[in-house]
């Protein structure tokens, strides 16, 4: 009887392991979808580059916005991540990548070698980007100067260093829905929704996370602990920004100055350097969308020591 129970337990573990392996298979975009040549719009590609915040993570020092040889370490509760070289260098960067491989990384979080990418790279938001915008972004990145050298591998303790487990994380938290315009809203609002939730990936910092690192969607944009471990990310719903006008928000995205004439600091200063590159129309669209966010209380901020 004991042997039979042990045998059943082993069989159940084998079946469960096989099911997990099957369900966590890294997804890859078919190359056939990119067989038709794409006439790249480099101006739009630069817009996606700027709103996407590529410089903030992938350029050390941020003085040269075209030098994407890898960025500063990103600490987290799960270990330290090192943003890689995304310059068009064919050996150390993404110069040898195909469009399909690039879109797969941005949309599905899968590397050209077929491994899961860690969601410290915000493909959870980038996956909302349209295919033409992703192709334009890729073309723009390929137009920048190649940079040699690689950053160190991520420094993560067990079990977070087991990439296959990221597949399980994706099953729980990766939203498969693409961006769909809301016909009941204006084109300006839809543009703002797209920029904020897609390439701008604002929710990745302005939303609290659970113990597994997944966004708490009921508190989306309501602020929370800094995912890098120090400080607090503010609430950007009308709970906190109720007194700000659309113009105030648009001006803030350009200058980093609040209506109270305070200047932004910390990681948001880097974000402002990116949004300042956008057109006035895109900043206004983002402001229209942000101003429409319903007030949400969000998590309680711990008292200052």
Host H or E run for residue 98:
none
* pTM recorded for the entire structure: 0.91
Mapped onto helix, strand or coil, the DSSP state of residue 37 is: coil
How far apart (Å, rounded) are the C-alpha atoms in residues 106 and 174? 12
- Encode burial over 183-213: b for 16+ CB neighbours within 10 A, e otherwise: eeeeebbbbbbbbbbbbbbbbbbbbbbeeeb
What pLDDT is stored for residue 49 in this prediction?
97
What is the pLDDT confidence band of residue 33, given thresholds at 50, 70 and 90? confident
What is the pLDDT confidence band of residue 15, given thresholds at 50, 70 and 90? low
* 121-124: long-range contacts, CB 8 A cutoff, minimum separation 24: 121/83, 122/201, 122/204, 124/173, 124/174, 124/175, 124/201, 124/204, 124/215
Residue-wise pLDDT for 279-303, tens only, equals 999 999 999 999 999 999 988 877 7
How far apart (Å, rounded) are the C-alpha atoms in residues 121 and 202? 13
Residue-wise pLDDT for 240-294, tens only, equals 999 999 999 999 999 988 888 888 877 888 899 999 999 999 999 999 999 999 9
Query: For the chain, how big is the Rg over CA atoms in Å?
Result: 21
CA 66 to chain centre: 19
Residue-wise pLDDT for 118-149, tens only, equals 999 999 999 999 999 999 999 999 999 999 99
Distances (CA, A) of 142 to 34, 245, 298: 16, 38, 40
Mean pLDDT, to the nearest integer, of 69-96? 93
Where would I find the H helices in 24-152?
Answer: 42-51, 54-58, 99-108, 123-126, 131-142
Distances (CA, A) of 41 to 38, 131, 133, 139, 169: 9, 13, 9, 8, 34
Residue-wise pLDDT for 162-210, tens only, equals 999 999 999 999 986 788 999 999 999 999 999 999 999 999 999 999 9
Where would I find the H helices in 174-215?
Answer: 187-197, 203-206
What ranges do the domains of the chain cover?
38-173, 187-291
Residue 231 reports pLDDT greater than 90: no
Which residues on neighbouring strands pair with residue 155, listed in sequence order? 80
What pLDDT is stored for residue 257 in this prediction?
86
Number of residues assigned to the chain: 305
Mapped onto helix, strand or coil, the DSSP state of residue 238 is: helix
What is the pLDDT confidence band of residue 230, given thresholds at 50, 70 and 90? confident
What pLDDT is stored for residue 28 in this prediction?
87
What is the pLDDT confidence band of residue 4, given thresholds at 50, 70 and 90? low
| Contact call for residues 76 and 227 (beta carbons, < 8 A) | yes
Q: How many CA atoms lie within 13 A of 74 on its CB side?
A: 24
Distances (CA, A) of 65 to 62, 93, 257, 273, 277: 6, 16, 22, 10, 11
What pLDDT is stored for residue 232 in this prediction?
86
């Amino acid at each position: 009887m004991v042997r039979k129970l042990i045998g059943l337990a082993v069989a159940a573990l084998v079946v469960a392991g096989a099911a997990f392996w099957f369900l966590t298979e890294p997804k890859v975009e078919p190359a056939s979808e990119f067989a038709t040549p794409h006439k790249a719009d480099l101006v739009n590609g630069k817009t996606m580059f700027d709103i996407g915040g590529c410089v903030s993570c992938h350029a050390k020092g941020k003085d040269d916005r075209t030098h994407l040889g890898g960025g500063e370490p990103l600490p987290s509760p799960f270990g330290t991540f090192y943003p890689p070289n995304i310059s068009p260098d064919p050996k150390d960067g993404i110069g040898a990548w195909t469009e399909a491989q690039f879109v797969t990384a941005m949309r599905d979080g899968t590397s050209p070698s077929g491994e899961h990418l860690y969601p410290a790279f915000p493909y959870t938001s980038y996956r909302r980007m349209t295919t033409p915008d992703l192709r334009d972004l890729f073309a723009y990145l390929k137009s920048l100067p190649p940079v040699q050298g690689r950053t160190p591998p991520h420094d993560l303790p067990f079990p977070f260093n087991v990439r296959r487990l990221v597949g399980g994380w994706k099953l729980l938290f990766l939203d498969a829905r693409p961006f769909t315009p809301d016909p009941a809203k204006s084109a300006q609002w839809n543009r703002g929704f797209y920029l904020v939730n897609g390439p701008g990936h604002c929710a990745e910092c302005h939303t609290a996370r659970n113990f597994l690192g997944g966004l708490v969607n009921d508190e989306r944009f309501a602020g929370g602990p800094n995912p890098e471990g120090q400080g607090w990310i503010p609430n950007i719903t009308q709970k906190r920004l109720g007194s700000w006008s659309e113009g105030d928000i648009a001006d803030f995205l350009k200058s980093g100055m609040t209506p109270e004439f305070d200047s932004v600091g910390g990681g948001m200063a880097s974000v402002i350097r990116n949004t300042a590159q956008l057109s006035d129309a895109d900043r206004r669209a983002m402001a229209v969308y942000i101003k429409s966010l319903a007030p949400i209380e969000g998590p309680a901020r711990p008292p200052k020591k």
